[in-house]
Structure 1
């Protein structure tokens, strides 16, 4: 069933041979029209195993942090993170979110103060200033509310775009699951999903396979 779904959505079409990272060789089958073709059988087995792994993490009540600062993937990541009641960063990764978590916790506390003070007797101009500050905090840090400890696993849709987040997770020995295209370097990633991660349809359907029957 997973294989049929993968074939129908073209998950298996990677980058051109010229752009290929040599470490990706084992995940490929053939080259078609100069494009690398990802091994569908390996991909389907990978998704099946990771689905069980994620289910076990959530069953054990461990936390997952979803990370995707690509604008066109924001809504997909937001949707699944919220439905699973997990934390997320979907707008901008601020350095130190994982390695210096006290900073974002202080900022979120400021946001609570803004909300409390907004109903006090301030001028309209002052209220607008409070609202703008609160909205900015919510956009960047809102998905981190309730994240008391470091997550057990981070799920990332693009390891190039969110390289800083990966470096922080590695320093803290947090497990990393990432969607990786054939031009990426998979060396430092714990759990690799080889796919066309530049496709909205592909990312959406991979998440659908991973989290169906869970959320």
Structure 2
């Protein structure tokens, strides 16, 4: 049985490719026709290729492998974060930092700095710094959480990359290719299939298309690991309800105020540590 259904693909608009002037000739084998200046993707091939891709990702998850979700385009960011968190996988949805894979040791050092700053705010040691230093450290924390929060618990290189739009994420794909890390991607008509190990040919711009493929992957990972799959709807992950998305990071001023408040409460109850 296929992971995706033809009706689902049609309803999500997965078959709509880019304008004919924006295409990669290598993608021709996945194109069905051209209509009004738009390429139509062959959904029969989408079903065939997605089954291969999902079988591979399912096997990776079943053996305890790590799948890094990557998608930094605006319409993919919230969906990607929500679904990756739901299935317990790392993700990068803000900006791909050059060297994330090829210079992983340096990236891990920045992650350790992120964890150090989080501990400082949690244990109130941030209050030992001047007001200006607290604000500067708060801004540094916010910046690191934004760009590295999704891979905070990824202690080694991933086994696979799952990418939304490999053309936009070309640097990530190149780094993975260099290290021989397999790449699975939802790829549109402007993509080069030759740099991918597995492809899901389809619309990588529409929210519903991104949601369908990403949620089904998350479902598969949850199911293979013995959980119950409850995917986030396209509406809640896209443009309406926001309660299922990652909680926004507080401003530095809020974090400092909260730490100060905790310190005041501890002092009032006699639990504060001696200076």
Q: Same fold (TM over 0.5)?
A: yes
Q: Relative to 1, partners in 2 of residues 1:115 and 1:14: Cα closer, same or farther, differing over 3 Å?
A: closer
Decide whether the 8 Å contact of 2:69 with 2:92 is kept in 1.
yes
Structure-2 separation of matches of 1:109 and 1:210: 29
User: 4+ runs of 1 displaced by more than 6 Å?
Assistant: none
- How many corresponding residue pairs? 215
Decide whether the 8 Å contact of 1:47 with 1:209 is kept in 2.
no
Task: Name 2:174's counterpart in structure 1.
Answer: 167
Measured after TM superposition, the shift of residue 25 of structure 1 is 1.5
1:191 to 195, 198, 210: 198
- Higher Cα Rg: structure 1 or 2? 2
Does 2:40 align with 1:33? no
Does 2:56 align with 1:53? yes
Task: Name 1:176's counterpart in structure 2.
Answer: 183
Task: Name 1:156's counterpart in structure 2.
Answer: 163
Structure-2 separation of matches of 1:65 and 1:22: 28
1:129 to 126, 136, 149: 136
1:56-135 aligned at under 5 Å gives the runs 56-118=59-121, 119-120=124-125, 121-135=128-142
Measured after TM superposition, the shift of residue 213 of structure 1 is 4.6
- Output the aligned Cα RMSD: 1.6
Superposition TM-score, scaled by structure 1 size? 0.93
Q: Relative to 1, partners in 2 of residues 1:88 and 1:32: Cα closer, same or farther, differing over 3 Å?
A: same
Q: Deviations over 1:43-75 (max 9, x none)?
A: 122223322221211110011111111122111
| Structure 2: 5+ residue stretches without partners | 223-275
1:203 to 210, 225, 231: 210
Q: Deviations over 1:10-30 (max 9, x none)?
A: 210112333332111211222
Task: Name 2:147's counterpart in structure 1.
Answer: 140
Superposition TM-score, scaled by structure 2 size? 0.73
Decide whether the 8 Å contact of 1:15 with 1:36 is kept in 2.
yes
Task: Name 1:6's counterpart in structure 2.
Answer: 9
Structure-2 separation of matches of 1:95 and 1:202: 28
Q: Relative to 1, partners in 2 of residues 1:160 and 1:50: Cα closer, same or farther, differing over 3 Å?
A: closer
SS in 1 for 2:143: helix
| Structure 1: 5+ residue stretches without partners | none
Measured after TM superposition, the shift of residue 214 of structure 1 is 3.5
